[in-house]
Amino acid sequence: MAPIVLRTVAEVKSWAAAHHREGRRIALVPTMGYLHEGHLSLMREGRRRADVVATSIFVNPTQFGPNEDLSRYPRDFDGDLGRCASAGVEAVFAPEPGEMYPPGYQTYVEVTDVSQGLCGARRPGHFRGVATIVARLFTLFRPQVALFGEKDYQQLQVIKALNRDLYLDVDIVGMPTVREADGLAMSSRNAYLSAEQRQRALALSRGLRAAQALYASGTHEAPALVEAVRRELRAADLREDYVEVMDAERLVPLSTVAPGQAARVLVAAFSGATRLIDNMPLGG
């Protein structure tokens, strides 16, 4: 069955209120559309954890910088509706920008510590936009559970902090990165890649796996783990944006991964003009 399409804040409030009155548990999957299997895995898990699943399809302008790809971000709304139906989504919130940011809008949410460094340093204001739109979606839907992919790992930590610090009481579920058969992390921005650029982009996952293998062999010093990733980026002629080994929860840089410590190795690099991100766990 095709999901109902909600276009206004009032429609979302009415839809959510009806389900809350009936005692139904709502799962929310916020997206910017151009859905792929990674998004659908979140929706299917939402079905498992809740009575009804809603998603948002909104290319949020406040999380794009002035020289980023807001205008050309890939869109396929009709295709997305079909994918949502296949995953059991009941409602899709697809507002116009003016609905979410009407004249006079002036309230923004900022999560300070875990938004520093990594993508936060390279994309100023990005996580303020993310935190603001997610806080507003949580306020509108009042979901019991919300699901996000671990590919956007820093974003996930920002949302967990937002949820905790504002007492929003949403069960935040981070789901494993879904990959193509050759290891490339699924991303809407993969659509920008030529065949040759896509092949070179495999260096991100190869480098991360090399770091994991090095860690498993007993090397826990961050510089060596970082170099394992960089070696693959150089071999593929990718332009590095960052490679970091971080504490998995606090997202502070580590010089060494201590025994039992949960850590992540995170990478961002350009294949052609397209910036891609990926990460994998270490330890824990």
- 217 CB contacts (<8 Å, ≥6 apart)? none
3-state SS class at 70: coil
> Which parts of the chain fold into alpha helices (H)?
9-21, 37-49, 77-86, 97-100, 118-122, 126-141, 153-165, 195-216, 222-235
3-state SS class at 61: helix
Which of 45, 33, 282, 281 minimizes the C-alpha distance to 172? 45
Active-site hit among 19, 20, 39, 126: 39
Q: Are 203 and 240 in contact (CB under 8 A)?
A: no
Q: Are 48 and 29 in contact (CB under 8 A)?
A: no
Q: Are 30 and 55 in contact (CB under 8 A)?
A: yes
Q: Are 275 and 152 in contact (CB under 8 A)?
A: no
Give catalytic status of residue 36 as yes or no: no
In the DSSP assignment, the letter for residue 26 is: E
Amino acid at residue number 70: L
3-state SS class at 267: strand
Would you please indicate which residues are annotated as catalytic (active-site) residues?
39
